[in-house]
Every structure is written in structure tokens, then in C-alpha cells.
A and B are shown apart, each in its own frame.
Chain A
Amino acid sequence: KNEVEQSPQNLTAQEGEFITINCSYSVGISALHWLQQHPGGGIVSLFMLSSGKKKHGRLIATINIQEKHSSLHITASHPRDSAVYICAVGYYNNNDMRFGAGTRLTVKP
């Protein structure tokens, strides 16, 4: 069982829809990262958070430390949001990070 579980694996939405991607992890962490990977492209860090909520433009990330769960929300989704979204967790005195398998989002016009 992966230490970091994401759901859904694949998500197709119509432009303008509100998107939610979920991430659950199994042990205590120091920080959780949400990453975006476009096809054939590199990975871009969207958020790093250890508590509460962060917002950047149309993207919102929340984390519940007690429940070991985080969500990434995209408001007013757009076709350019189509990408793979990856959740990754880091530990105190971070050695390796653990990554989820990613959620492939396709937003149709």
C-alpha cells in the first residue's frame, strides 16, 4: 500500500467546474506538497503546507493534520488546468519524500 494515496486517479471536467483532488497519507508529516505536471513537462510546485489552508489564484489547498488528509481545489476550471496533480509528503529531518501516483485532470472546453 502506497503511503500516499490520491483520488481520483483520473478526472474529466467541463470548463468552469469546481474540481477537488484528495490526498491521504498514513504517518505524521512535516509538510505536504501539491505539484503539477504537464504532459512532457517538468513538475511545478503549487503549494507547500503543513497546516490550514493556502490560496493562489484559482487554486486552494487545505490540510487536516488530525485526519492526515489534504485536498486541492480548482475553482472555475479551465482547459489549461489539464495536467497531472501530484501530492507529496515530507517528513521531519526529511530524507526521501513520498509521492502519490498522481491525478490526471482533463478539463474540456
Chain B
Amino acid sequence: DTGVSQDPRHKITKRGQNVTFRCDPISEHNRLYWYRQTLGQGPEFLTYFQNEAQLEKSRLLSDRFSAERPKGSFSTLEIQRTEQGDSAMYLCASSSFGGRVTGELFFGEGSRLTVL
């Protein structure tokens, strides 16, 4: 397994367009997280999945954002009608969750979005 992979690595789009990012987690990990990171800040939580179930969404995630993990493997994050404020690095991470404590997080390289 090569770790967590994200695609595309970079995306430049015009305001109002829709964009979709994909994350392939480590295969045996049941948890998948999406984070957003802007310049000079730590990552901010967006949403997470346990298997195929989306268990929590941050208030940061407006109705223009939607995430899926249809078969409990890869996940997609779609942003509709992009705005310049959506420009950020979108990070995906996966981990194993057993019982009460989440295991070590493994991050992808991120997908950098620039909205013109």
C-alpha cells in the first residue's frame, strides 16, 4: 500500500464552477477525514466517515460542499459554485478506529484549490 493518495494535486478553477477531489485511503483504514488548510493555519476539520457512513460535518461545510464514501473505500469531496474563499489546501487523512480511540493519522499530499 502506498499510503493515502489524493487527486488532483492542484486545481485552478473559475468562480462559480464545480470541483471534485478524490481521496484513496489506506485500504485497511475504516476512518477517513477531510480537512481544509489555509496559508499559515493548521488544518480545520470538515467531515469524516467511518466506513461508508458520514458521521459528522463541520459547521464550516456549507451546503455547497458534499462528501461521499459510497463503498467505504475512496471518498470524494465536491464543491459546487466555488467562491474565492474556497481557495485552500484540501487534505484527506485515514486511520483505524477501534473502540474509543482513533489510531495514528495518515495524510495525503493534499489537493490545492485556487479559485479565480
Contacts and interface: CB of A to CB of B under 8 A. Distances in A.
Contacts of B7: none
A90 B33 CA distance: 13
Contacts of A90: 101-102
Contacts, number: 67
Contacts of A43: 43, 91, 93, 105, 107
Interface in A1-49: 4, 30-31, 33, 35, 41-45, 48
Interface string B86-116: 0000010100010011111111111000000
A101 B40 contact: yes
Which of A44, A45, A101 has the most chain B CB atoms inside 10 A of its CB? A45
Nearest to A95: B56
Given A33-B104, A43-B91, A45-B104, A94 B43 contact: no
Interface string B15-34: 00000000000000000010
A4 B43 CA distance: 12
A97 interface: yes
Q: How many A residues touch the partner, as a band?
A: 20 to 34
Contacts of B101: 30-31, 50, 90, 92, 94
B74 interface: no
B65 interface: no
B41 A101 contact: yes
23 contacts: A30-B101, A30-B102, A31-B102, A41-B109, A42-B91, A42-B108, A42-B109, A42-B110, A43-B91, A43-B105, A44-B107, A45-B107, A48-B103, A88-B105, A90-B102, A93-B100, A94-B97, A96-B45, A96-B48, A97-B45, A97-B102, A97-B105, A101-B40
Interface of B: 33, 35, 40-45, 48, 55-56, 58, 91, 93, 97, 100-110
